[in-house]
Amino acid sequence: MLPPSVIDWTYAVKLYYLNKVLIVKEYDDWEIHSQKLTMKVPSIVMTKRYVRPRQKVLFNRKMLYLRDNYTCQYCGEQFHAKDLTLDHVKPRSMGGISSWSNLVTCCATCNWLKGAKVMEPISRPKEPSYWQMVKSYKDMPYHNYTLKDPAWAEYLGLNNT
């Protein structure tokens, strides 16, 4: 996860009872109940100990889209994740593998037009550093996020534009 991380409320409650996090803010209108306990659901929690971030970025579809800024690497247009595919620069039929240096984001139209040919993408794919991904995450437009609590914006480093 990119810092700060977003976790599920159930995991936040579990970490609270394991004494690993402090509750910074709770939801005013959301409570959970057990037989002997009632508590407000945590909205923002803070770890008690420093968690060293991973230095290696996870290799998955979401991170590839983020690395390429949700932009087709052949036509240059920006898309929503649901309208993007992944394309092998060197096609698998020619021995290309699924790796940071061989996969780019691509719209369905360009992917279909490219087929099994070798085409040069707009920017050469390479493995991003952890901090490049953090910057990409923070540079994404605010309207792409649906925040349950507006207070999250401050802690996630999101712009209010």
Q: Verify that 78 and 106 share a domain, yes or no.
A: yes
Element (H, E) at 38: strand 38-47
- Number of domains into which the chain is organized: 2
pTM value surpassing 0.75: no
Residue 156 pLDDT > 80, yes or no?
Answer: no
Per-residue pLDDT reduced to its tens digit, 88-126: 999 999 999 999 999 999 999 999 999 888 989 999 999
Residues 48 and 65 reside in one and the same domain? no
Task: Classify 157 in phi/psi space as left (phi over 0), alpha (psi -120 to 50) or beta.
Answer: left
In a shared domain, residues 70 and 123: yes
Q: Which amino acid is at 105?
A: T
pLDDT in tens, 57-100: 889 999 999 999 999 999 999 999 899 999 999 999 999 999 99
Rounded to the nearest integer, the mean pLDDT of the chain is 86
147 falls within a domain: no
Say if CB 39 and CB 31 are below 8 A apart. yes
Domain limits for position 27: 1-53
For 69, left (φ over 0), alpha (ψ -120 to 50), or beta? left
CATH number reported for the structural domain that contains residue 116 in this entry: 1.10.30.50
Whether 88 contacts 100, CB under 8 Å: no
